[in-house]
Structure 1
């Protein structure tokens, strides 16, 4: 019985992983489909391209074009660096370490100039109004 329950949970979890969409992608899709925001269609199409889903991206480019968004009509692509997963594999993607700045000593407390008022309190001293 436990094995059957485990098998059902496992199959449901794998199904959920296949259909999962991030909140950002969901918001872009909804802004395109429901609110008819042309820029939302364009952005969603570009995200689909980055996720290797070109067939679905064409639909959203066309919808953005119908909403009179010129870059959607020409199917302009974002000019972005590759995703983080592929950037880690290339050796030239590693940033050079910046030289460390020398440590600076904290400013010493200076005595107030003549004519200035010292507003600091001694330990245990309170302000009486």
Structure 2
């Protein structure tokens, strides 16, 4: 398992980690900053995490995925700090012998991360800013 909280997402590192001679499928989800939210123009987002708890929760999610599907490897990485529209902020990924398990596990990983991992974002709009749960 590759589970991290980082300053910057490295897509190549995540993909390289997931590759395996036994895997027939590698699935990666990349969440990025949109340039709009709630009908407003987004200037930037600033992410903060309760890192110890976030890593613990991410590990629990990864273990649950391994119990549900036969997977070769799992990646869960979330960025913190200031991010601009277009920048990657979260990656979930899974590799497995067959694509169905990789697709389903990857979706499960991001959905569960959004539900339980303590990460918050400060949304900066052209006219104001607001703190929100990063993954409501």
Pick the structure with more helix per residue: 1
The TM-score, its normalising length taken from structure 1, stands at: 0.24
Pick the structure with more strand per residue: 2
Greater relative contact order (CA < 8 Å, ≥ 6 in sequence): 2
Structure 1 or 2, whichever has the larger Rg, is: 1
The TM-score, its normalising length taken from structure 2, stands at: 0.24
